[in-house]
Amino acid sequence: MNSVARLPRTVVFDLDGTLVDTGPDLTAALNHALGVLGRREVDEESVKEMVGLGARKLLERGLEATGVMTDELIDAGVPPFLDYYAANICVGSKPYEGLAAAMDELAADGVTMAVCTNKPQRLSELLIDAIGWNGRFAAILGADRVPQRKPHPAHLLSTIEAAGGDPRSAAFVGDSIVDVTAARAAEVPVVAVSFGFPDRPAATLGADAVIDSYAELIPALRRLGASATW
Q: Are 73 and 87 in contact (CB under 8 A)?
A: no
> Exposed, middle or buried by CB within 10 Å (0-12, 13-18, 19+), for 104?
exposed
User: Among 14, 16, 25, 175, which one carries the catalytic annotation?
Assistant: 14
Chain centroid to CA 56: 16
Compute the chain's Rg from CA coordinates: 17
The C-alpha atoms of residue 23 and residue 93 are separated, in whole angstroms, by 7
Edge-to-edge strand ranges of the sheet holding 170-174: 139-141, 112-116, 10-13, 170-174, 190-193, 209-211
Residues 6+ positions from 38 with CB-CB distance below 8 Å: none
Whether 109 is catalytic is no
| Helical residues (DSSP H) of the chain, grouped into ranges | 23-36, 44-50, 55-66, 71-87, 99-108, 121-131, 153-162, 177-186, 217-225
- Cα four-point dihedral sign 64, 66, 68, 73: negative
3-state secondary structure of 141: strand
The C-alpha atoms of residue 116 and residue 95 are separated, in whole angstroms, by 16
Which residues are designated catalytic? 14
